Amino acid sequence: MVFSCLWLSAILAAARWVATMLPCVAAGDRASFYLVKTTLFIPTLNEIDGVKVIMPQVKREWVDEIIFVDCSSTDGTPEWLRANGYRVITQKSRGLALAYWECFDVMSGDVIIVFTPDGNSIPETIPALVAKMKEGYDLVIGSRYLGGAKSEDDDLITGFGNWMFTRMMNLLYGTRYTDVLVSYRAFRISLVKSLNLSRGQHPFLEQELMVRAYQQGFKVTEIPADEPKRIGGVRKMKIVYNGFAVLWGILREKFVSRAKKTGSG
């Protein structure tokens, strides 16, 4: 009898707490209602100059965990990171796409934030991405071309390529993206399984994520995010290879994937 009374009291107390929270949610304060555990994923390959400048600007309390996936750097990047208390995974594979998967395999967060420590990603955008995820979004893109945002790192070729691929994706799929080549983003790790993303080294995982999330009705948005010039090191992107891979990734979703579905139906 006593146990039943205590149980009933606990239920009533919980109900009163929920009742006090509902007005806040109704008023638009949903950021505190959708609780998320965040993992900051940072791939590296010889970025010692960038990490020394950028990482002191990243406040550790912004996220729940930080994981570096280092692809055999030879300039002291992993040594400096470990000496400063960061968790570093030595990448067993090659390429950014597979670095994603090595992070997926060990992360404990339910939301992953992709960040580059070369100066292209502004640290102060991290809390803005987290805030949007707490509003209930499944994928949030840090666009370099939304609103007043701009890229200081894109040159004539990469800027035109982004413009072309963005309009191609929007035309083919009815999306309204402004930047389909940027890596800076946050998304729920559950999307990896829900969208059946391709585990391979070809660099179109990010575009595959954007297309499939939109097509399957997940909640997607963009926020403005400036891109400064990189700090030291060299750009890892191979323009011709990456360009053809992204083109194939975008077209594959429209024609190859549709053909497979039609054939299986």
Quote the pLDDT of residue 243.
83
Choice among 18-22, 239-243, 248-252 with the minimum mean pLDDT: 18-22
Q: Contact, 221 vs 140, CB < 8 A?
A: yes
Say how far apart CA 218 and CA 153 lie, in whole Å.
Answer: 30
- Residues 25-31 have a mean pLDDT of 39
| Phi, psi for 178 (deg, rounded to 5) | -115, -10
Q: What is the pLDDT of residues 116-139, one digit of tens each?
A: 999 999 999 999 999 999 999 999
CA proximity to 173, closest of 124, 145, 218, 214? 214
pLDDT digits (tens, 9 = 90+) for 62-121: 999 999 999 999 999 999 999 999 999 999 988 888 999 999 999 999 999 999 999 999
Alpha carbons 10 and 201: distance in angstroms, whole number = 52
Mean pLDDT (the chain, rounded)? 86
| Residue 28: partners with Cβ closer than 8 Å, 6 or more residues away | none
What are 141's two structure tokens? 């893109």
- Distance from C-alpha of 233 to C-alpha of 46, rounded to nearest angstrom: 7
**37-51 confidence digits (pLDDT tens):** 999 999 999 999 999
* Whether residue 197 has pLDDT greater than 80: yes
Q: What's the order of all strands across the beta sheet hosting 139-143? A: 87-90, 65-70, 38-44, 111-114, 185-188, 139-143, 220-224
Where exactly are the structural domains of the chain? 36-264
What is the reported pLDDT for 49?
A: 96
Indicate whether 261 pLDDT > 80: no
Give me the pLDDT at residue 238, please: 76
CB 233 within 8 A of CB 130: no
pLDDT above 60 for 9: no
Residue 37 contacts residue 109 (beta carbons within 8 Å): yes
Predicted confidence at residue 260, as pLDDT, reads 53
**Which fold would CATH assign to domain 36-264?**
Spore Coat Polysaccharide Biosynthesis Protein SpsA; Chain A (3.90.550)
110 near 36, Cβ under 8 Å?
A: yes
State pTM to two decimals.
0.82
User: What does the CA dihedral 175, 178, 184, 190 come to, rounded to 10 degrees?
Assistant: -10
